[in-house]
Amino acid sequence: MTLSRRRLLQATALGPLAVWLPRIPGAAGAEPNPTQPGTAVPPTGTVVDAGARGGILGIGLNWDGPGPGGVVATVSPKVDGMWRTAIEVESDYGHGPPDPTGRIHGPAVLVPGATEFRITPRRGVDNLRHVEIPDTPGPLRPASADGGGLTTVEPISGLAIIERSNWTDRGRRATVDCWLGSSVDGLGCRADVGIRHAVVHHTVNINTYGPEDVARMLRGIQSYHMDTRGWDDIGYNFVIDRFGRIWHARAGTIEGSVSGAHTAGLNTESVGVAVLGTFAHHDPNQQILDAISTLLGWKLGRYGVDPLGATLVRSAGGDYAEPGEMIVVNNISGHRENQRTSCPGSRLFSRVPDVRSAAAELVPVYGHLVPAYGPDAVGIAGWTIDRFTPTRPVTLEVVIDQVPSATIVADAPRPGLSDQYPDAGDLHGFDHSVPIDLDTRSIVATVTAGDGRTAMLLDLRLFATFIDVEPTRYFAEGVYWLRANELTLGTQPGLFEPVDEVTRIQMAAFLWRLFDRPQPAAPPPFIDVPADHELAPAVAWLFETGITNGTSADTYSPDAPVTRGQMAAFIWRMCGKATPTRPSPFKDVASSVFSTAAAWLFETGITNGTSADTYSPDAPVTRGQMATFLHRLAVSPQAWTTVEPPPVVAATLASA
């Protein structure tokens, strides 16, 4: 996706913000878990008796999309026998993964101590429903307005962050796939290159909660995000309460580049900070503003991000950008700058410029680095400036696998940089190639300010030269074997895309390369694989050897996904159609055309099925699964009793 003219002009006006276009968007990320629609709300409204229902902390609303813009309903809580100010509810869809049913959700309206909630719909909203958010028990910690009694970490002097264990003992769900620009890291996702910008939110709750209520409210938001919205955890990375206390929210390291679910389309390289409360008509106090500024000054400073600047990032889609579009975002923005929403409320949003200025005082050195991936090197190019001595060139230290690799002086011309930083000039650029091999695991690029403080412009993880393969995933060994034997270079430099589906043309390429690229006698007979296609020899070889007859007499359907049943048939035929000694344990292929192939795959140890008695023959094969199947095939001597193994397999068997 190219830059629109408007955004291209914005980027030019902002100076040398590098455009990185190394990849095409693939899977948008893991689908959310099933959502809960809740109970219908009559057009005249309803009252939910929290006391009678027992243990209700708040209410969440959802409705048929797209619905009216702006406020769709109000929720009025009754506390101590009195109806309190109504809380306006609008769409909250601009945070994380959308509801797969198409319904639109509002935020979690949480009111500790409320005995009733009165829901009043506005006109134009269809099929409004409410969900009751439970007041779930959690860790018992004493709480005070100054954070006393809570365990904290202090990454820098004056910044105390309350640990997640103080408010929840619930773990996050494992994420299967990540948004473009981030990769699986443990149970979640981390930005491939680090944090690029921050987004400020409010949570749309009452503002009169006590210090002892905050942990309950965080659990309520977590419950709503996970159990009603179907997300993998609470969406915000950090939450700040009205007492100025900073709570570690989303699971993951406090220091790391943990991807959140707070700004749809821009979750990958951002940190999301939410203030607990509603700030449409209520001013944030100085404690809140100081907490946001200190937190973001430290967090952005850690990654060399200028709080007063702007950055060009790739959007995964949203109100103001198409998937894959490059857009300019302020390095500290209010949510409404990136989505059609009133978040973080007009009063808090009006103070975002003050937050930027205060945060900037904590950032001594900043810059921007753009990686370019290759099979044997990662290029790093960008710029960096010391805020205190802006004309002095900054030194960049590159460390590979915790071993110093290079020291680079950032003094190369960077045309246009002085437009954004007039006091610095243009001589602050760098361009360097970092050599990598199959066993390179990390590249860190750090800059140091004149006062000794440092920032990471790059914190990159690799496995087998790919940035999207975590070494602990089940397919990692197979991917490494494929890459080591030059059976794949990935889908494009730096990417293997293990959760993408394997197409029939990719399957042909894998098997053809496995057999050392034999040349067929004739081109393929399929009209959808022309003779000049780069993989025409692979498809022709599959047809010539009887591994495939195509999807019809004259079509191969190269872009169609390969199912697990088809994959079994391909590999079984390729290995000589050996007869298994017993049927497979899989009930879902017992009478299928794939029964013999599946039984042979099970007998040779290439597959264990998707459960003890299922094979799932109609499920698509992912690239990670394909790597695993082929590696198991290569280390299974019993798979090669009918045909001679190709050289790469013979070498693998010999070294086993």
Strands 197-202 and 270-275: parallel
Predicted confidence at residue 181, as pLDDT, reads: 73
Distances in Å between the Cα of 442 and the Cα atoms of 300, 378, 407, 435 are 21, 11, 17, 11
Which tens digits make up the pLDDT trace of 451-486?
888 999 999 999 999 998 989 889 999 999 999 999
Structural element, H or E, at residue 215: helix 214-223
Residue pair 420/14 in contact (Cβ under 8 Å)? The answer is yes
Under a CB-based contact definition with an 8 Å cutoff, are residues 318 and 265 in contact? yes
Q: Where are the alpha helices (DSSP H) in 473-622?
A: 476-484, 504-514, 536-544, 564-574, 595-603
Percentage above 70 pLDDT, the chain: 91
Q: Report the distance separating Cα 176 and Cα 421, nearest Å.
A: 41
DSSP-derived 3-state class of residue 129: strand
Q: Read off the pLDDT band of 403 (50, 70, 90).
A: very high
Rounded Cα–Cα distance for residues 189 and 258 (Å): 6
Q: What is the pLDDT of residue 15?
A: 32
pLDDT, average across residues 645-656: 93
CB under 8 Å to 393, separation ≥6 — which residues? 409, 410, 411, 427, 428
Measured distance CA(420)–CA(337) in Å, rounded? 21
pLDDT top residue among 134 and 276 = 276
Cα separation, 626 vs 652, in Å, equals: 17
The two beta strands, 188-191 and 182-185, are antiparallel
- Distance, in Å, from the CA atom of 95 to the CA atom of 201, rounded to the nearest integer, reads 10
Cβ atoms of residues 125 and 63 within 8 Å: yes
Distance CA 178, CA 197 (A): 18
637 φ/ψ angles, rounded to the nearest 5 degrees: -60, -35
List the 56-64 sheet strands across, edge first: 39-40, 129-134, 56-64, 103-110
| pLDDT band per the 50, 70, 90 thresholds, residue 635 | very high
Please check the confidence at residue 31 and state whether its pLDDT lies above 90.
no
pLDDT interval class at 140 (50, 70, 90)? low
The dihedral of CA 262, 266, 267, 273: what is its sign? Answer: negative
CB distance 508 to 534 below 8 Å: no
pLDDT, tens digit (0-9, with 9 covering 90-100), for 185-198: 777 788 888 899 99
Contact 180, 313 (CB under 8 A): no
pLDDT tens profile 90-118 = 887 666 677 777 788 888 899 998 999 99
Question: Cα separation of 299 and 260, whole Å?
Answer: 14
In whole angstroms, what is the distance from residue 251 CA to residue 538 CA?
45
**Please, what's the largest Cα pairwise distance for the chain?**
87
User: Taking the alpha carbons of 16, 20, 21, 22 in that order, is the dihedral positive or negative?
Assistant: positive
Any residues with CB less than 8 A from the CB of 235 and at least 6 apart, and which?
95, 96, 225, 250, 260, 261, 262, 272
Mean pLDDT of 335-359: 94
d(CA 341, CA 257): 25
Whether the per-residue pLDDT at 148 is higher than 70: the answer is: no
Q: Which of 138-147, 185-194, 203-212 has the lowest mean pLDDT?
A: 138-147
CA distance 438 to 479: 11
- Find the mean pLDDT for residues 636-654: 95
- pLDDT averaged over the chain? 88
CA pair distance 332, 639, nearest whole angstrom? 57
Helix pair angle (647-655, 623-634), 10° resolution: 70
For residue 13, the model assigns a pLDDT of: 31
Model pLDDT, residue 214: 95
Cα(425)–Cα(354) distance, rounded to whole angstroms? 26
How far is the C-alpha of 327 from the C-alpha of 7, rounded, in Å? 6
Q: Residues 6 or more apart from 2 whose CB is under 8 A from it? A: none
Q: What is the pLDDT of residues 301-324, one digit of tens each?
A: 999 999 999 998 888 877 788 887
On the question of pLDDT at 342 being above 50, the answer is: yes
CA 490 – CA 318 distance, rounded (Å): 28
- Predicted confidence at residue 10, as pLDDT, reads 33
Please report where in the chains the tokens 């990935």 appear, as a residue.
490
**Which whole number is the average pLDDT over 543-552?**
94
| pLDDT on residue 35 | 62
> DSSP letter at 555?
-
211-261 pLDDT tens trace = 999 999 999 999 999 998 888 899 999 999 999 999 999 999 999 999 888
pLDDT band, very low/low/confident/very high, at 29 (cuts 50, 70, 90): very low
Q: Report the chain's C-alpha Rg in angstroms.
A: 28
pLDDT value, residue 193: 84
User: CA 650 to CA 653: how far, in whole Å?
Assistant: 5
- pLDDT bucket at 149, cuts 50 / 70 / 90: confident
- pLDDT tens-digit map of 582-621: 999 999 998 889 999 999 999 999 999 999 999 999 999 9
What φ, ψ does residue 352 adopt, rounded to 5°?
-60, -40
**Sequence-separated (6 or more) residues with CB below 8 Å from residue 315:** 265, 266, 321, 322, 323, 324, 325, 326, 327
Q: Give residue 127's pLDDT band: very low, low, confident or very high (50, 70, 90).
A: confident
**49 alpha carbon, distance to own chain's centre:** 38
Q: Is pLDDT of 444 > 50? A: yes
Give the C-alpha separation, 122 to 138, whole Å: 36
Per-residue pLDDT, averaged over 477-498, amounts to 94
Phi and psi at residue 155, to the nearest 5°? -65, -30
Q: What is the pLDDT of residue 56?
A: 87
CA distance 502 to 150: 49
Enter the pTM of the model: 0.85
- 326 within 8 A of 7, measured Cβ to Cβ: yes
Question: Tokens 């291209």 identify what position?
Answer: 8
What's the pLDDT score for residue 317?
A: 78
pLDDT for res 324: 79
The residue count of the chain comes to 656
CA distance 410 to 189: 31
In 3D space, the residue among 172, 315, 312 whose CA is nearest the CA of residue 252 turns out to be 172
Q: For residues 68 and 95, which has the higher predicted lDDT (pLDDT)?
A: 95
Residue 33 confidence (pLDDT): 57
Residue 252's region, left for phi above 0, alpha for psi from -120 to 50, else beta, is left
pLDDT number for residue 265: 83
Nearest to 300 by CA among 370, 390, 237, 250: 237
